Chain A
Amino acid sequence: MKTQQELIKTKPKTELDYDITEGWTQEQLEKQHDLILKYGPKETSYCAAFEAEHFDVLVRFSEAIHALDKIQSDNYLSKYYFDQLERKYNDHLTCIEHNSQKIEITEATRTEDVPTIQGLAWCSKLAIQGNASSTFAKWQYVGAGSDDREARAYQSVLYAPTLPRANTINAAEGSITRSGESLRIIGIFPSTFATITVKESACFNASTGGTNLNRNFFPSNPIVHTVNTQPFTIGILINFNSVTRWG
Chain B
Amino acid sequence: MKLEKRGRGSLDVSYIAYFPQYQKAVLHDLISEINRDHDQNLISEFASVFEKNKSFNYNDNLIKADQIIEKGDLLVNGGIDRTIDAMRGTVSPWRYVATGIVGSAFTPAVSDTVLLNEATGRIDMNDVNRGWHEQFGMKIFYGGIHSEMTGNNIIDEVGIFSASSGGTMLNHTSFGTAQIARLQNPQATMYRQIMIFAVFVEFCPALP
Contact = CB atoms under 8 A, between A and B. Distances in A.
Interface residues of A, number: 44
A176 B135 contact: no
A181 B206 contact: no
Given A123-B87, A180-B81, A244-B8, A39 B205 contact: yes
Interface stretch (B16-24, B60-68, B88-96, B184-192): B88-96
Q: In this complex, which of B6, B92, B203 has the most chain A Cβ atoms within 10 angstroms of its Cβ?
A: B203
Contacts of B25: none
Interface in B1-59: 3, 6-11
Given A132-B92, A181-B77, A242-B7, A35 B87 contact: no
Contacts, number: 130
A39 B6 contact: yes
B74 to A, nearest CB: 7
B8 A139 contact: no
A131 interface: yes
A161 to B, nearest CB: 24
Contacts of A134: 89
A120 B136 CA distance: 11
B172 to A, nearest CB: 14
A193 B206 CA distance: 39
Interface in A118-132: 120-121, 123-132
Contacts of B110: 242
A111 interface: no
A241 B203 contact: no
Interface of A: 20, 28, 31-32, 35-36, 39-42, 69, 73-74, 115, 117, 120-121, 123-132, 134, 138-139, 176-178, 180-183, 239-244, 247
Closest 3 CB pairs of A and B: A130-B93, A40-B204, A242-B9
